[in-house]
Amino acid sequence: MKKEIKEKIAIEVIKTLVNRFELFPEDATNNRNAPFHEAFLQAFSDKLQGKVPDIPFFISLSSWLHGLNTTLGQSFFEKISHILSGGEKREYTSKKLGNLRITREQKENINNIVTDLSNSKRKPNLQKENHEIFNCSKGEFINAIDFSADVFYEETDKIIAIELKTVKPNSGEMRGEKHKILEGKAALKCKYPDKNIFFYLGFPFDPTNDTPTGYNKKNFMKSIINIEKYFAPDEILLASELWNFLSGYPNTMEIILSIINTIATPDFYNNYKFLNDTSKRETKEYIGLLKKWFLFSELKLIENSGRLKSKISNNKKLLRIYNQSPFDSSGTYKINRFNQLKEYL
pLDDT in tens, 285-335: 999 999 999 999 999 999 999 999 999 999 999 999 999 999 999 999 999
User: Mapping DSSP to helix (H, G, I), strand (E, B) and coil, where does residue 140 land?
Assistant: coil
Contacts of 289 (CB under 8 A, 6+ apart): 271, 274, 275
Pick the more confident residue, 158 or 36: 158
Burial of 7 (0-12, 13-18, 19+ CB in 10 A): buried
pLDDT of residue 18: 93
pLDDT in tens, 207-223: 999 999 999 999 999 99
> Residue 207, Cβ neighbours under 10 Å: how many?
11
Q: How far apart are CA 213 and CA 344, in angstroms?
A: 42
Per-residue confidence at 205, pLDDT binned at 50, 70, 90? very high
pLDDT of residue 31: 59
Q: Mean pLDDT across the stretch 263-288?
A: 95
Mean pLDDT over each residue of the chain, to the nearest integer: 92
Q: Mean pLDDT across the stretch 228-246?
A: 97
> Residue 297, Cβ neighbours under 10 Å: how many?
22
pLDDT in tens, 72-95: 877 999 999 999 999 999 999 999
pLDDT of residue 217: 96
Contacts of 166 (CB under 8 A, 6+ apart): 73, 203
β-pairing verdict for 141-143 and 101-103: antiparallel
Per-residue confidence at 32, pLDDT binned at 50, 70, 90? low
Q: Per-residue pLDDT for 176 more than 80?
A: yes
Q: Mean pLDDT across the stretch 268-293?
A: 95
State the pTM of this model.
0.91
Per-residue confidence at 229, pLDDT binned at 50, 70, 90? very high
Q: Mean pLDDT across the stretch 122-132?
A: 97
pLDDT of residue 22: 79
> For residues 61-94, b (16+ Cβ closer than 10 Å) or e, as one string?
beeeeeeeeebbeeebbbbbbbbbbebeebebee
pLDDT in tens, 112-122: 999 999 999 99
The radius of gyration of the chain's CA atoms, rounded to the nearest angstrom, is: 25
Q: Mean pLDDT across the stretch 167-191?
A: 92
